[in-house]
Amino acid sequence: MYPENFRYTKEHEWVRVEGDVATVGITDHAQQELGDIVYVDLPKPGTRVTRGGTLGSVESVKAVSDVYAPVSGEVTGINPMLAEAPEKLNADPHGEAWLVKIKVSTPAEVESLMSAADYETYIGAEK
């Protein structure tokens, strides 16, 4: 369920790092908790984000939920599909419905995030 090559936050974001670029999304657990997603708000490319700061928000029929930056850096791209098809986040949160790409400024931050196994334990305990 949760890819081994991703890292995870307690706020239910995932990160996949390739070189110095991190692709960021929300986890399957997060989309399940939110239910039908109807809006995704993302920062403009070029925005500098700090780990733990607000990256954007995801809105379902029922509620709005903030998304936090799992790592610090500069937003270099956002997923263009989500403006028109936010429901893709329910269908494929770990794949085509990624949210943003961030050029990582502090690579050590990635190391402190949870592994897939740790995250599964974490969400198991949360229930």
**What are the residues binding other proteins (CB under 8 A)?**
32-33, 35-36, 38-39, 57, 59-62, 64
Question: Of 18 and 127, which has the nearer Cβ to other proteins?
Answer: 127
Distance of CA 46 to the CA centre of its chain: 18
Tokens 């791209």 -> residue:
77
Single-letter residue type at 124? G
Least CB distance from residue 19 to other proteins, whole Å?
33
Question: Of 64 and 117, which has the nearer Cβ to other proteins?
Answer: 64
Single-letter residue type at 127? K
Least CB distance from residue 11 to other proteins, whole Å?
18
Least CB distance from residue 33 to other proteins, whole Å?
8
Question: Of 39 and 107, which has the nearer Cβ to other proteins?
Answer: 39
Question: Of 91 and 117, which has the nearer Cβ to other proteins?
Answer: 91
Least CB distance from residue 18 to other proteins, whole Å?
32
End-to-end alpha-carbon separation of the chain, Å?
17
* E strand map for the chain: 7-8, 13-18, 21-26, 37-41, 48-49, 54-60, 64-68, 73-78, 100-104
Q: Which helix (H) or strand (E) holds 125?
A: helix 116-126
